[in-house]
Amino acid sequence: MSLLKNNNSEYTAFYRKKYDETIRFKHKRALALTSRKLVRLIFALLRDNRLYTNKKEMTKAT
């Protein structure tokens, strides 16, 4: 999970936002919410039979 958190700017920003929101157990809470977001993404990709493309990374490439 930390590989995704460190290499994907969308998930890094989401993790940092959730980390800053909580008072106790910052890393654990932020990691759980980031993992949940990833699971929802994977489920949607499998359900719709699509490939993952990061919108922010696509705009950098063009």
Residue with tokens 């590989």: 3
What is the Cα–Cα distance from 3 to 1, expressed in whole angstroms? 5
- Boundaries of domain holding 46: 2-61
pLDDT of res. 52: 87
Residue 62, SS3 per DSSP: coil
pTM of the model: 0.78
pLDDT of res. 45: 95
Query: Is 21 in contact with 9 (CB distance < 8 Å)?
Result: no
Q: For the chain, how many structural domains are there in total?
A: 1
Q: Which residues of the chain have pLDDT under 70?
A: 1-3, 5, 56-62
C-alpha angle 55-56-62 in degrees, rounded to nearest 5: 90
